[in-house]
Copies of this chain bind each other. A is one copy, B any other.
Amino acid sequence: MTAEEPIFDIAHLAHVELLTPRLEESARFFVDVMGMTESGRRGDSVYLRGWDDYEHHSLKLTASEKPGLGHYAFRASSPQALQRRVEAVERSGLGLGWIDREAGHGPAYCFTDPDGHKIEIYYETVWYQPPEGMRPALKNQASRYPDRGIGLRRIDHINLLAADVRANRVFMQQTLGGRMTEQIIFDDGSEKGSWLTFTNKTYDVAISEDWTGSRGRLHHITYAVDSREEILRAADICLEHRVFMETGPSKHAIQQTFFLYVYEPGGNRFEIANAGARLMLAPDWKPIIWSEAERKKGQAWGLPTIASFHTHGTPPVE
């Protein structure tokens, strides 16, 4: 008997909606410091993208009383793939229905994961069309490489907080076809974190335990740059802009990502990352399991895991 085939219906993480109590400051941060491009505004929302994000936007900022996650979205691999995933979600009982008035893409099916994070999935999209001053010198990139700020290339992943990591992780696997690549299992058997991929990246979604037991919260979102050097430069730019740097630049043991974590003006944690040439190519990868003792060793080069990593999430818990 052969095993079930992997599911390739999710093409990639498409965008994230961040809620911010300081919309204009957040927008300025992502444009001036992070070097993103504003590709539109609608109501209380500002749409942004990295210089090589091919869609209309990969980040939506929406004014809100508190910071946190509005929703995040996947693009499906094909119309048929979208249909299959919608059916699977509907079977799970977590479906919310279709919306079709969102900027930047076609009809999207809305649902939640068991922890309550709102997710959308769609296929039809709007490719970014760079205006005159934004056209790249090389036509195989989405827009001009910016000469200002840090210059985020593209959206990379989202890290959710969840009261029940395992339940959320199994949902992502069974309903969406996520493949687990690494996880943290403590001595008591509890699952403290799981990393899932839908692509050849080693993770697109991470789920960390919410120590407060709250639901639907966000740990951070992450954009990719081309090199570790760009992250060191990012730290220098954040330093000049007095951006709060929570930890890094350094290298994670889990997934080995080179990272820098900062807080954007709205209070959400934001990561700039580089994975080098690391990819998940094996179709039958056995998940790496990190023990409690191994986690206590901190990051790859011995940097202690910062305490606020376990306490700060958005929205804040009161």
In the complex, what distance in Å separates the CA atom of A248 from the CA atom of B232? 13
Decide: A52 and B278 in contact? CB cutoff 8 A.
yes
Identify A140's interface contact among B6, B137, B182, B258, CB under 8 A.
Answer: B182
Inter-chain contacts of A248 with B (CB < 8 A): 301
In the complex, what distance in Å separates the CA atom of A117 from the CA atom of B106? 43
Decide: B12 and A281 in contact? CB cutoff 8 A.
yes
Identify A138's interface contact among B138, B230, B256, B258, CB under 8 A.
Answer: B256
Interface string of A229-255 (1 = CB under 8 A from B): 110110111111110111011110111
Residue positions of A touching B, CB distance < 8 A: 2-3, 5-6, 8, 11-12, 32-33, 52, 54, 75-81, 136-141, 144-145, 147-150, 153-154, 156, 182, 199-201, 224-230, 232-233, 235-242, 244-246, 248-251, 253-256, 258, 274-279, 281-283, 288, 300-303
Query: How many Å from the CB of A90 to the closest CB on chain B?
Result: 20
Interface centre among A8, A150, A242, A276 (most CB of B within 10 A): A276
Inter-chain contacts of A228 with B (CB < 8 A): 227, 229, 232
In the complex, what distance in Å separates the CA atom of A150 from the CA atom of B251? 18
Decide: B32 and A147 in contact? CB cutoff 8 A.
yes
Residue of B nearest to A281 (CB): B12
In the complex, what distance in Å separates the CA atom of A279 from the CA atom of B139? 15
In the complex, what distance in Å separates the CA atom of A302 from the CA atom of B242? 11
In the complex, what distance in Å separates the CA atom of A284 from the CA atom of B141? 15
Decide: A235 and B138 in contact? CB cutoff 8 A.
no
Inter-chain contacts of A150 with B (CB < 8 A): 147
Interface centre among A33, A226, A245, A278 (most CB of B within 10 A): A226
Inter-chain contacts of A81 with B (CB < 8 A): 5
